[in-house]
């Protein structure tokens, strides 16, 4: 846990723990801070860092992250709207990816995308370089 949290650090939580459990283990948010856009109901992934009360710095104009056509998308934190930026991924497939993430406690490997209904070998090849864990 990092950011605007009372006791930043590394915490060992039970399998299946959620972001809210990590925030609680770290003593809650600092006075005046907010969990902002954190999805408190999301299951944690082993080794991930939760940052509370900060927003990512905007990408400089012209950088790869500023161009949706070349942006690398995090499978474990992307919204369905962000997932729709991937080649060949529409509203329905983005929802399936998000559902897989929720039911399996997140992605631990990019290859797990192959387990999502609607992602065959060709589509996987198109999007595998555009995503990260």
* pLDDT exceeds cutoff 70 at 1: yes
The pLDDT of residue 63 is: 47
pLDDT digits (tens, 9 = 90+) for 87-129: 889 999 999 999 999 999 889 999 999 999 999 999 999 999 9
User: Using an 8 Å Cβ cutoff, are 59 and 40 in contact?
Assistant: no
Closest-CA residue to 71 (of 52, 84, 54, 55) = 84
Q: Please state, rounded to an integer, the average pLDDT across all residues of the chain.
A: 84
- Reported as a pLDDT band with limits 50, 70 and 90, residue 67 is low
- Cα 117 to the center of its chain, rounded Å: 19
For residues 31-46, average pLDDT: 79
């Amino acid at each position: 846990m990092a950011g605007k949290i009372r006791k930043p650090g590394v915490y060992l939580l039970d399998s299946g723990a959620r972001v809210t459990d990590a925030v609680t283990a770290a003593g809650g948010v600092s006075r005046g801070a907010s969990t902002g856009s954190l999805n408190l109901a999301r299951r944690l992934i082993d080794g991930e860092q939760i940052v509370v009360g900060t927003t990512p710095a905007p990408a400089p104009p012209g950088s790869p992250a500023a161009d949706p056509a070349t942006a690398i998308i995090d499978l474990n934190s992307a919204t369905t709207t962000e997932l729709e930026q991937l080649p060949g991924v529409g509203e329905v497939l983005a929802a399936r990816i998000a559902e897989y993430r929720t039911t399996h406690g997140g992605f631990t490997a990019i290859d797990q995308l192959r387990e999502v209904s609607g992602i065959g070998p060709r589509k996987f090849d198109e999007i595998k370089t555009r995503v990260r864990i």
